Structure 1
Amino acid sequence: MTSPRQDPLRDPRFFADPYPTYDRLREGCPVQRIPTGSGGREAYLITGHPEAREAFTDPRLSKDTARFFAGLASTRDLHPAISRTMLASDPPAHTRQRRVATPLFTAGRVRELRPYITGVVDDLMSTWRPGTEVDLVADLAVPLPVTVVCELLGVPESDRATLAGWSHDLFDATDTDRVDRASHRIGDHLTRLVDTARATPGDGPLHSFLRGCDDGGLDRDEIVSLAALLLVAGHETTTHFIGNAVLALLRHPEAFDRLCRAPDLIPGALDELLRFDSPVSVATFRHSTEDLRVGGVDIPAGFPVLIAPGAANRDPAVFPGPGRLDLDRDAGGHLSFGHGIHRCPGAPLARAEAEIALRALVTRFPGTRLAGPPESPVWRRTRLTRGLAGLPLALA
């Protein structure tokens, strides 16, 4: 196994198109030790599908970031509500928080939300007209999931745009100070919302969420942390899901036209769209608590381990011709929502939002095409998620 001398996940070419990098690394070895960040730190990066699936369920790979960084010198200043979320914990703390979060996203609850989601899409697209241009990201992919998750949590309408902006800043791979500031703004704001709701009896969504947290035995810090996670993860990746899916379809006009002719195929196409260009490129932090072996590679105790769903979803050993968008492919084994106990509980809601948004687009504007060259969209500079900064569309 040979290790790259530069962090391959911070190369500007990676942000624009990570798949050549992933392919090169996977072909060398599906589990590689790479430099990461600054200060000579290293991590193991997993790019193969079987290896990623195995790692997702290995209890020796901990998500307890506080445990890993205890005693290590760090210049970071993340708010505890961001640094100690359910995604940064192991059982039993993880189990308690997940037990509270899961009921918010059951199939039945999402079914109840579908009319509301449809209404939000209708409102956002009400001013769209054939012959005009819109930015799919700014005009639909961002406000739709923000509105839905804020409604679910009872966040006031006046706060939603501000919180969405701070959430956007959290994923900036080039400015850690900006990330840290955003974490405090989100954590402090949600703490005030929770404390205000506690002091003001009511029966709205936020009070319902708090009752569920109380029943689950969560303390104040855990409640704020869970609210932050649901807010951030509940819209950021769905925004990228919608944007990436539309771009993929418009870069493959025959696939887009097929869905225009048969919109009922959309639910079955979502897995392939998720596989083709995953909104989660690299999963959140894990570290080895003891020596282990993954994909024939020994990983010593005490190392960060990065699992890359974006790479695993393009593993040709599992998905032949992985760079081809094939709406007839059985892509149900993709890892865009993770796998194991940390699999995204909000997956049913994300799928519903993407389905409803795509159906509205193909039925109302079946002649839509990209407003610029297919290679022109600008990608956000973040390695955890993969998403567009904007996507201009010519409606028709």
Structure 2
Amino acid sequence: MNIQTNKWLLNRRHVLRGLGASIALPMLNCMQATGSLRAPASPKRSVFLYIPNGVNTLTWQIEKPGTDYEFTAPLKSLEHHRQDITPISGLHHPMVIGKAHNCDQVWLTGANVPGDGGAFRNTVSADQLIAEVQGEFTRFPSLEIAIDGFSLAWSRDGIQIPAERNVKAIFEHLFGEESGGKDAVRRRLNRRGSILDGVLSDAESVNQKLSTEDRSKLDEYLTAVRQVELRTEKAETWLNVPRPTLDGSVADRFTRQMNQDQVREYHRLFYDLMVLALRTDTTRVITCMIGSESNGGAIPDIGISQTRHGLSHHNGDPEQLRRLTQTDTFHVEQFSYFLDQLKAHQEDGGNLLDTTQVLWGSGMSYGHS
């Protein structure tokens, strides 16, 4: 029997558990992939970044196709990343025409949005499909965050996976130590598991008495409960694996009080936190909504007091269009900064960007109607 199969391939973090104790295994042959099962030299990562309300297409659009294209003014900060990026245009999702406020919901799913009054049920997002493959190797299968707005991630059952918007909370979630030590955490996880089991059991009996519509609503709720159950099981699995050790100055930067009016620095905190999560292999899949379709905050740093949503309804006003271009330029500059930071981290003879695919875009090209 050939034991070098996925079934027998053990992770080096594997431990033996019994009588409340755990013992790390020595290095075994079945911990090393061979032949067709050889593990990649470096992890492959994916990041999805969303800006709302489209752009000012009059100043944005690249006119010349091919590799010798010229960056337009809002895109100039990407010039030194030319060899690493591919501008894509002409994508079209006809089922969201006239439903601009739904664009973020289907950006990574491609689901059909019904006409007014129709019930909308999303499908699975691209990031979650990737997380199903990559997630078993990291403490967190995926990370859902938002500078402003909601989540881009949707489960296989079409349920939105909540996003965290507080930098300190995200940092503590990824790198913080649980209060009370491992035993206390294990007790909390066990209690949570017992509660979830009880909820699911009760729900099955209730389900028999409901109408079709109510059953559908209950099914959505139970799907969310099962996702919590899976995350609880995952947390239990990783409880004995130490979290990355970070310098105190790193923690101070992400946990300090900060005025969100400092938009540039606030955005860069999010980008730096994403880089930190990737380079410590805490997760390999990240979604981040930079702004919501209905808001997309002001940028006092560059003198913009209106929301991005407000600027997108410019009605052809030259001053509004100029300001919209300013915000386009600002967001591209922050994206360029993110790519800089990915390139700055060296690993395995290359850099972090070499093993990371990043999709940066919007659910529409032109927000004014």
**TM-score, scaled relative to structure 2:** 0.26
Relative contact order higher in (CA < 8 Å, ≥ 6 apart): 2
User: Whose helix proportion is higher, 1 or 2?
Assistant: 1
